Structure 1
Amino acid sequence: MSVPEMFSYIQGFLSADQEIREDIRKVVQVLEQTAREVLTLLQSVHQPTGFKEIPSKCQKARELFCTVRTHLGELKTKFPVDQMTFIREIINYKFHEHWRFVLQRLAFLAAFVVYLESESLVTREEVAQILGIEVVREKGFHLDVEDYLAGVLIMASELSRLAVNSVTAGDYSRPLRISNFINELDSGFRLLNLKNDPLRKRYDGLKYDVKKIEEVVYDLSIRGLAKEQEAGGDK
């Protein structure tokens, strides 16, 4: 093979990669738009009257996740299914950065919806089910552990904001429950040996969320509002 022929051959690979990147970019743009719609919908729970609308907002968010599953299904088709597993893994890793951010954002939104519904931590398997993707790497397009954890940490920041807005809305018990949840979350992350990477930096921000919520709880305790809320609940 001559030098010109060799580089023409290489150009074929580069052109094929560029086509895949462009296809992925188009799908990711649509996913980002849907994610913004879900976020806008859930942001209303921060309003003074938003707590009463939590069930309906979560239901509408669940419906939008059906659209998310459709778009993620389109993204899966961008990878050849007839190739060997390790080849698909190489492709998946190669283009992961194109959808990493939106997948983390979707994981956060799924985690936030589940928390609003049950005040519990969503599992990685539940997030994958909501998004319609896999958990096991060998099965194809999947939710990485790092992306799941990043989504959970984004949710922690959202809950710290919710704790503050709960006081404004006159719900003095919710910050106490959020505080307990975030402290358990912080304890869980302390068990992980996170390296110095973006996930570690995002985890470092969790301590500020813990502090912010503790200040809200402390202020409620000083004013006697927490005890007053508890007494009202006992009655």
Structure 2
Amino acid sequence: MSVNEMFSGIQGFLSADQDVREDIRKVVQGLEQTAREILTVLQSVHQASGFKDNEPLMRVFVLSLSLSLSLSRFHEHWRFVLQRLAFLAAFVVYLESETLVTREEVTQILGIEVNREKGFHLDIEDYLSGVLTMASELSRLAVNSVTAGDYSRPLRISNFINELDSGFRLLNLKNDPLRKRYDGLKYDVKKIEEVVYDLSIRGLAREPGSGGEE
């Protein structure tokens, strides 16, 4: 094979590679728009009126992802939107059940895989990043709950976030961006603790299940 023939083959690969990148860009743009629409719906939980939709919150997730394993080297193109979708899934599950969504549950919600070998999947780092974003959203919800007159929710959020913090302390995080995100969790814990403390000194704090909610 001549040099020209070799480089012609390389050019063909580069052109095909660029086509794949463009296809991925379009898919990611669609996912980002979907994520923005989902977040807009969920933001109503911060209002005094709360989330009034009678349909299950999980119905906001109508997603179907179908990218093959051969595209795994393009992970950076969709890392951010996957982290955002993992956060939204975690937030929805918490609002419905006040429990922590598992990585497996997130992949079921998004219609993707857990394992890299099976195709388009959710990395554990992206899952954890989504969970940490949810923690920040819950710290905000704790403050807004007090404004709305819901004095028991901040205590439940506090218990949940402290348990989440204890779980993260068990991890030996090597991923620098994820480590930095985890460092921010202590500020969320502190913010929620301040809310709970304020409720306590005002005599408004009620332990979950105490039967003394305002």
TM-score relative to the length of structure 1 = 0.85
Please report the RMSD computed on the Cα atoms of aligned residues, expressed in angstroms: 1.9
Deviation at 1:196, TM superposition (A): 4.8
Deviation at 1:216, TM superposition (A): 0.4
SS in 2 for 1:192: coil
Which residue of structure 1 lines up, in the alignment, with residue 87 of structure 2? 108
The residue identity in structure 1 corresponding to 2:186 is K
Any unmatched runs of 5+ in structure 1?
A: 80-87
Which residue of structure 1 lines up, in the alignment, with residue 6 of structure 2? 6
Which residue of structure 2 lines up, in the alignment, with residue 64 of structure 1? 60
Deviation at 1:23, TM superposition (A): 0.4
Distance in 1 (alpha carbons) for counterparts of 2:96 and 2:34: 21
1:96 is the counterpart of 2:75: yes
Deviation at 1:63, TM superposition (A): 2.6
Distance in 2 (alpha carbons) for counterparts of 1:196 and 1:121: 22
Distance in 2 (alpha carbons) for counterparts of 1:148 and 1:127: 8
TM-score relative to the length of structure 2 = 0.93
Cα 1:156/1:18, change in 2 over 3 Å: same
The residue identity in structure 2 corresponding to 1:232 is G
Q: How many residues of Structure 1 are paired with residues of Structure 2 in the alignment?
A: 213
Cα 1:10/1:228, change in 2 over 3 Å: closer
Any unmatched runs of 5+ in structure 2?
A: none
Query: 1:57-206 alignment to 2 at 5 Å?
Result: 59=56, 61-66=57-62, 68-69=63-64, 72-73=65-66, 76=67, 79=68, 88=69, 91-206=70-185
Distance in 2 (alpha carbons) for counterparts of 1:33 and 1:19: 22
Distance in 2 (alpha carbons) for counterparts of 1:217 and 1:64: 31
Cα 1:122/1:228, change in 2 over 3 Å: closer
The residue identity in structure 1 corresponding to 2:81 is V
Cα 1:31/1:121, change in 2 over 3 Å: same
Distance in 2 (alpha carbons) for counterparts of 1:29 and 1:175: 35
Residue by residue, what CA displacement relative to the aligned partner does 1:155-183 show, whole Å, maximum 9, x if unpaired? 00000000000000000010000000000
Deviation at 1:123, TM superposition (A): 0.5
The residue identity in structure 1 corresponding to 2:189 is V
Runs of 4+ residues deviating >6 angstroms: none
Distance in 2 (alpha carbons) for counterparts of 1:228 and 1:36: 35
Cα 1:196/1:133, change in 2 over 3 Å: closer
Query: 1:20-35 alignment to 2 at 5 Å?
Result: 20-35=20-35
Contact 2:152 2:206 in 1 (8 A): no
1:40 is the counterpart of 2:40: yes
The residue identity in structure 2 corresponding to 1:137 is R
Contact 1:34 1:64 in 2 (8 A): no
SS in 2 for 1:56: coil
Deviation at 1:9, TM superposition (A): 1.6
Distance in 2 (alpha carbons) for counterparts of 1:151 and 1:126: 13
Which residue of structure 2 lines up, in the alignment, with residue 232 of structure 1? 212
Distance in 2 (alpha carbons) for counterparts of 1:63 and 1:227: 32
Distance in 2 (alpha carbons) for counterparts of 1:45 and 1:226: 21
Distance in 2 (alpha carbons) for counterparts of 1:228 and 1:104: 33
